[in-house]
Amino acid sequence: MLCKAANRVINRNEPTFLEETCSRILSFCNSNSLKQGISVHSPVIKLGLHHHLYLNNNLLSLYSKCFGVNKARHFFDEMPHKDVVSWTGILSAYVKNGNHDTALRVFDSMLISGESPNEFTLSSVLRSCSSMGEFDYGTCIQGYVIKEGFDRNPVLNSGLIDFYSKFGLVTEASNLFITKGNHDTVTWTMMISSCVLAQRWVQALQLYVDMVKAGVAPNEFTFVKLLGACSVHGLNYGKLVHAHILLRGVKLNVVLKTALVNMYSRFRRMEDAIKVSNSTPEYDTMLWTALISGFAQNSMFRKAVSTFRAMGVSGIIPNNYMFSSILNVSSLMLSLALGQQVHSRVVVTGLEGDVSVGNALINMYVKCSDNVEDALRVFRGISLPNVVSWTSLIAGFAEHGLQLDSFHLFTEMREAGIEPNSFTISGIIRSFGAAKLLPQILMLHGHVVKTNLYEDIAVQNALVDFYAEFGMLNDAWQIVDTMNRRDAITYTTLASRMNQMGHHESALHIITDMKNDDIKIDEFGTASFLSASADLGTIMTGKQLHCHSVKSGLCKWFSVLNGLVNLYGKCGCIHDAQRAFGEIGMPDIFSWNGLISGLTSNGYIPSALSTFDDMKLSGVKPDAITFLSILSACRNGKLTDLGLQHFQSMREIYNIKPQLDHYVHLVDILGQGGRLEEAMEVIQTMPFTANTSIYKTLLRACKAHRNIPLAEHTAKQGLELDPLDPAFYILLTNLYQDSGRHYLAERTLTVMKEKQLRKNPSHSWVEIRDKVHVFVAGERSHPRTNEIYEQIESFEAEFKKHGYLFQGIGHSYYHSEKLAVVFGLLNTPSKAPIYVIKNSSICRDCHNFMKFVTQLIDREIIVREGNRLHSFRKGECSCRG
């Protein structure tokens, strides 16, 4: 159509009319980026209008928009005359294409030609300076701006604010903003953007308020920047910004819709994100990508895949960002089939050489394929692999157990002239740490010390994590002490590793370190500290963390809510655990496992089994951890046949291979049910080498059922594995004494003494006013020992007075759990429950002592032994023992 119009123009042969018509056609095509407009170029030449500067500038702009910067540069070089618009046009084309070095060279050529730049030229040059890191060049441009009287120009003010903010000089940008005054929407938006970029969230929101007060109307880009600040201030701020968008009648274009989708996705509100995306019919690739990424972030992988398919049906061709997002989904799903299908689409689209898509493919094959050669093949196909490509491949080889090849790749990377960055080094440290490659990491640590990367916080955090994982806490703390800046990751990493090592009290002390460094505890840190409180049994500290999570808005995070379920379940507050579980919108496997474990350990066996059924009905598949809790419930509830059924269902129904811990539970279930021969058969036929734990479990069952021959055989098997474990001798001694074989008990104790074996003293601890008090059986080191002993004697006198049959004599008289409970009674309010943790099983005499105490006084006493809790109330225990 445009060609026919051009021919009609030529046939009219009226010069003024011809110029005007060509000008209008080019202007229309420029406004709509219609590449057909280039057909006017031929009539322009034929009509002798190729010297017409206005027409040439329009053609230059059209070439740049529709045919790329190279075609535009070719046309520019052939232009017989050039003005400031021509130079600005080609310079802007290079800036938009990311060729900032060339853009600055073009600017130099422009000055040499004698052409003076305008505000748009200088604005483009400032963008290139900030992208190239040319701070001095940029300040020279600012000097030129002042000299030529452009310092009040809003376009250049916006450009200078952006320039300074890109170099992290937000104060200078702010001063520039304040001194100039009379700002337009673009300048206000640029200043807000600078504050968001510098993470000055409060200042960004305050600027918006000032902008509205100044009577300057925000546009869609203003709100896009504001939505970035809402990622820190929370969902309510995001909703408030959304409300302002609607109240001001700002058109929801695809850029603004994409920002809203990203905001709602970040706060796990995918329903709202979908509503926003469907509020207008306009979609583009970035909006589709935001939806897919949102579904991936919220573990809604199937919806992410269906959205990708819907995009294909809509006719929009995916770009490199889209392919990277959907490949990330396949990596998270561990779906090789999906990844391969996407890979084929990548090849058809012609993006297999794109570095971002190639990196996503490498990551997908590393995580989903058993053959690391697939990832290597993709890597070799990337035209110019970058540092991310190398990092992904190196980490992938390490994760596949090819540590030597991984280290060779690291060397090859450096030989190829690609210097590792902080992400490379930290990623390699994590991968090598997971593979327990101590010598290689020490070598890498030496390399890092020689470079400026040693000052990078990501590298330092990775080293802290590595040393802490290897139990080298002194080395980890040494790095922490030398760090110029520490963040939440630094301390959360340490707390997490300390929890894994059982140093729960030390983990909680990190809260003080974070406070001293003025570092806020985030959701991951809160979850780690809740875990420490749960394992240590410090319920008051846990409740304080719960309050902190509510005040700081962290109580909606999965990790925090799961931590609360675990805390309250382990500390005997099962109703609080259920309340925390009820606040989880879509409980995951960790949520269900925490609740089932809590119900089991608190003696709510029917509820635990019922919750297991609810979990299956909700569509969440049980895992190996789930079955440990279910088998424990069957053991505690004396449900032998049901326990066997659940054990068999692991492999037959859920395709879960039972581990050694599951067999220990199975032996415990059979032993408690008196089926001792079957329990021994399980040990002999299981696909694992028996350890001392499983033999001790069977020996306890033999003691309970007084089966001396099998007990002796079991003890012999266990002592062959660990001849210095005193537990076998003690269990045998107790069995002989219970069976009236006192001479055998004495002989066993004699053997123990000859081997100089002693039972490790049991420890119990109780938290009083944020301090943990530890008690050891028979010790008198506590400053209030005399008072504690007097109270015990007073209780026993009361027992006799009320006719309770209690025999608190001999070695059990001052057991650690009894000392901890009495100390708790002496130092807590009259109605407060007592929480005690013991590192071994509670004995029968202490168990009876606590039952009688709660019958005398209206107090609840909770004692945790391992994963089991005893809740004593009004003379009864939750274990019904």
Residue 359 amino acid letter: N
* Average pLDDT score over residue span 466-491: 91
Q: Name which of 10-14, 76-80, 736-740 the model is least confident about.
A: 10-14
Q: Name which of 527-536, 755-764, 854-863 the model is least confident about.
A: 755-764
* Average pLDDT score over residue span 391-409: 83
Instruction: Answer whether 200's CB lies under 8 Å from 206's CB.
Output: no
Average pLDDT, the chain: 85
> What are the pLDDT digits (tens) for 500-528?
998 998 999 999 999 999 999 999 999 99
Using the predicted structure, report yes or no on whether residue 183 has a pLDDT greater than 90: no
Using the predicted structure, report yes or no on whether residue 7 has a pLDDT greater than 60: no
631 occurs within a structural domain: yes
Listed residues 741, 759, 777: the one ending a domain: 759
Residues 658 and 691 both lie in one domain = no
Using the predicted structure, report yes or no on whether residue 14 has a pLDDT greater than 60: no
Q: What's the alpha-carbon Rg for the chain, to the nearest Å?
A: 36
Residues 748 and 821 both lie in one domain = no
Residues 707 and 732 both lie in one domain = yes
Using the predicted structure, report yes or no on whether residue 478 has a pLDDT greater than 50: yes
Residues 590 and 724 both lie in one domain = no
Which of 202-216, 446-460, 650-664, 771-785: highest mean pLDDT? 650-664
> What are the pLDDT digits (tens) for 80-98?
888 888 888 888 888 887 7
CATH number at residue 754: 1.25.40
255 occurs within a structural domain: no
Which of 129-138, 261-270, 592-601, 770-779: highest mean pLDDT? 592-601
Listed residues 204, 231, 250: the one ending a domain: 250
Using the predicted structure, report yes or no on whether residue 209 has a pLDDT greater than 90: no
pLDDT at residue 49, as a whole number: 62
pLDDT at residue 402, as a whole number: 82
pLDDT class of 48 with cuts at 50, 70, 90: low
Beta bridge pairs of residue 877: 872
Q: Look up tokens 């300057």; give the residue.
A: 216
141 occurs within a structural domain: no
556 occurs within a structural domain: yes
294 occurs within a structural domain: no
Residues 522 and 580 both lie in one domain = yes
Beta strands in 180-304 (DSSP E): none
Residues 481 and 531 both lie in one domain = yes
pLDDT at residue 498, as a whole number: 94
612 occurs within a structural domain: yes
Residue 338 amino acid letter: L
Percentage of the chain beyond pLDDT 70 is 92
Q: Long-range pairs for 235-242 at CB < 8 Å and ≥24 separation?
A: 235/267, 235/269, 237/205, 238/263, 238/264, 238/267
pLDDT at residue 399, as a whole number: 80
pLDDT at residue 10, as a whole number: 46
Percentage of the chain beyond pLDDT 90 is 28
CATH number at residue 171: 1.25.40.10
Residues 229 and 208 both lie in one domain = yes
Please give the torsion angle defined by the CA atoms of residues 17, 18, 21 and 27, in that order, rounded to the nearest 10 degrees: -130
Give residue 246's domain range. Answer: 152-250
Residues 754 and 855 both lie in one domain = no
392 occurs within a structural domain: no
User: Rounded to an integer, what distance in angstroms lies between the CA atom of residue 615 and that of residue 99?
Assistant: 56
The CB density around residue 396, as the number of other CB atoms within 10 Å, is 24
Strands 861-865 and 763-768: unpaired
* Average pLDDT score over residue span 177-192: 78
Q: How many residues does the chain have?
A: 881
> What are the pLDDT digits (tens) for 734-767?
899 888 898 998 999 888 888 888 877 788 888 8
Using the predicted structure, report yes or no on whether residue 287 has a pLDDT greater than 80: yes
Residues 482 and 586 both lie in one domain = yes
pLDDT at residue 583, as a whole number: 92
* Average pLDDT score over residue span 277-294: 87
Count the domains in the chain. 4
Instruction: Answer whether 44's CB lies under 8 Å from 20's CB.
Output: no
405 occurs within a structural domain: no
Residues 156 and 198 both lie in one domain = yes
Listed residues 250, 266, 287: the one ending a domain: 250
Residues 817 and 840 both lie in one domain = yes
Using the predicted structure, report yes or no on whether residue 222 has a pLDDT greater than 70: yes
* Average pLDDT score over residue span 361-371: 91
Using the predicted structure, report yes or no on whether residue 491 has a pLDDT greater than 90: yes
Residues 608 and 486 both lie in one domain = yes
Q: Long-range pairs for 505-509 at CB < 8 Å and ≥24 separation?
A: 505/532, 505/536, 505/772, 507/532, 508/532, 508/533, 508/536, 508/538, 508/541
Using the predicted structure, report yes or no on whether residue 653 has a pLDDT greater than 60: yes
